[in-house]
Amino acid sequence: MKARAFSYFRARTIEEAFDAHVRCADEARYIAGGQSLVPALSLRLQAPRLLIDITHIAELRGVRREGEFLRIGALTRHCEMLSEPLIAEFAPLLRAAAPFVAHPAIRNRGTLGGSIALADPAAEFPAMALALDAEIEIAGRSGKRRVKADDFFIDLFETALEPGELIVAVHVPLFKSGQRIAFDELARRRGDYAQVGCGMLATYTDKRVDDIRIAFFSVGSVPTRAKQAESVLAGAVLDAAHVAAAQAALANDLMPPDSDDVPPAMRLHLARVLLGRLLGRLGEGA
């Protein structure tokens, strides 16, 4: 399990990273935390000619308020999701999901930008970006652009990122009073990829849900919003009938893959159970 040989370049600016990438045509890879990339290299599942280390690019760092958004630099590590007060205050769903991301030592290295860019359909943060209606700030040679999470995840490990582009930051709309979140996942062991996971952000007026965004992970080839379930719940009080209707709607929202150990019907069942439990917690003011 030793990687193929490659060259290494440590970029200090985004421009340096782009230049290096261009020089190596398509055979370069950016590395940040590397917690998924390094095993892929060791297993020789990937074999770039050049590894461009972007962890020393200052522009990709930092968590701060920018207007109605919390700007979370792409290099923000998973462990900072647990320790950074601004995240606890303005993006509590990321704080809630972070303890479920792998293990402590992985969280010390893994980055938010890396997780979003990889777009593992079983990972927590890509789905939470969906639930939060986050915007992904992307830099390319032609400049910067912001893509809504809804438009970012395209297919299995395929995103709106063009070759050579990298994620600068994730912008999360600030958490407001009247909003509630809930997160949980069903994993066989602590830190494992979940059999099903879900996070949600709801905006309440009194006991009525004005608006809700529900995102699942480990249910298909991409992190997936449960849009029909959302529409069942929008404007409703979360009573048993609405919860049941939302659970039923998941049949249309999710298309679980055929997997060797979790049959699609079981995954759908687990998603419904999880949705029911999380809506219950939401109702309790979770």
Partner 1 sequence: MSAPLTSLDRPNSYIGRSVPRPNAKRLLAGRGRYVSDLRLPRMLHAAFLRSPHPHAKIVSIDCEQARALEGVHFVATGEDLAKICTPWTGTLDHFKGMTSEPQLPLPLDRVAWAGQAVVAVVAESRAIAEDALELIVVDYKELPSVIDLDTARQSGAPLVNPGSASNVCFRSQLDSGGVDDAFATATHIVEGEFSFGRHTAVTLEPRAIVADYDHSAGMLTVHHATQTPYQFQDLYSRHYGIPEARVRVIATDIGGSFGMKLHVYHEDMAVVGLSILLGRPVKYVADRTESFVSDIHARDHRVRARMALNADGEILAMDVQDLTAIGAFSTYPRTSVVEGNQVIRLIGAPYGFKSYRAALEVIFQHKVQTSQYRAVGHPIACAVTERLVDMAAARLGLDPFAIRDKNVIADDAYPRTSPTGYRFEALSHQACLQRLHAMMDYDALRTEQAELRTRGIYRGIGIATFVEITNPSPAFYGVGGARISSQDGATVSLTPSGEVRCLISVTEQGQGTEAIISQIVADQLGVVQDQVKVITGDTEVTPHGGATWACRGAGIGGETALQAARALKRNILEIAALILQEQPSALDIIDGQVVDASTATPRLPIAEIARIAYFRSDTLPPGTQAQLTVSHHFAPQGYPFAFTNGIQGCSLEVDVETGFIKLLKHFVVEDCGRIINPMLVDEQLRGGVVQGLGAALFEECRYSDTGQLINGSLADYLVPMAMEMPDIMIAHVETPTKDTALGAKGCGEAGTAAASACVLNAVNDALAPFGASINSIPITPTTVLKALKRF
Partner 2 sequence: MSERDAYVPDEAEETVRVRFVVNGRKVACDASPRETLVDCLRTTLELTGTHAGCEMGACGACLVQLDGRAVHSCLMFAVQADGAAIDTIEGLSESGAISDLQAEFHRRNALQCGFCTPGMLVSAHELLSQTARPTRDEIRDALSGNYCRCTGYEAIVDAIEAVAKARASASCEDGGVA
| Residue 170 to residue 174: CA distance in whole angstroms | 12
8 binds, among partner 2, partner 1, none (CB under 5 to 8 A by kind): partner 2
Compute the C-alpha angle 178/147/69, nearest 5°: 35
34 binds, among partner 2, partner 1, none (CB under 5 to 8 A by kind): partner 2
In the region spanning residues 10 to 49, those forming contacts with partner 1, defined by CB under 8 A, are 43-44
Q: How far is CA 124 from the centre of its chain?
A: 5
262 binds, among partner 2, partner 1, none (CB under 5 to 8 A by kind): partner 1
115 φ, ψ to 5°? Answer: -65, -40
Tokens of 25: 């045509």
Smallest distance, Å, CB 70 to partner 1? 31
154 binds, among partner 2, partner 1, none (CB under 5 to 8 A by kind): none
Tokens of 109: 């290295």
Stretch that binds partner 2, among 27-35, 66-74, 150-158, 201-209 (CB under 8 A): 27-35
| Residue 244 to residue 237: CA distance in whole angstroms | 12
Residue (133 or 192) nearer to partner 1, CB: 192
Size of the site for partner 2 (CB under 8 A): 35
Instruction: Using CB under 8 A, pick the residue from 142, 189, 240, 285 that binds partner 1.
Output: 189
105 binds, among partner 1, partner 2, none (CB under 5 to 8 A by kind): partner 2
Question: Is there binding between residue 188 and partner 1 (CB under 8 A)?
Answer: yes
Instruction: Using CB under 8 A, pick the residue from 53, 59, 133, 192 that binds partner 1.
Output: 192
Looking at residue 46, what DSSP letter applies?
-
Burial class (CB in 10 A: 0-12, 13-18, 19+), 279: buried
Query: Can you tell me whether residue 163 is helix, strand or coil?
Result: coil
Instruction: Using CB under 8 A, pick the residue from 14, 30, 34, 185 that binds partner 2.
Output: 34
Token pair 């320790």: residue: 83
Amino acid occupying residue 199: G
Helices (H), 98-239: 104-107, 112-118, 124-131, 149-152, 227-233
Looking at residue 258, what DSSP letter applies?
P
Residue (57 or 246) nearer to partner 1, CB: 246
Stretch that binds partner 2, among 47-55, 169-177, 236-244, 257-265 (CB under 8 A): 47-55
For 213, the enclosing helix (H) or strand (E) is strand 208-217
Residue (77 or 213) nearer to partner 2, CB: 77
Contacts of 64 (CB under 8 A, 6+ apart): 70, 71, 86
Amino acid occupying residue 111: T
Per-residue binding letters, 71-90, with partner 2 (x by CB under 8 A)? --------x-----------
Binding site for partner 2 (CB under 8 A): 1-8, 10, 31, 34-35, 38-39, 41-45, 47, 51, 53, 55, 79, 99, 102-106, 108-109, 189-191
Binding site for partner 1 (CB under 8 A): 1-5, 43-44, 186, 188-192, 195, 260-263, 265-266, 268-270, 273-274
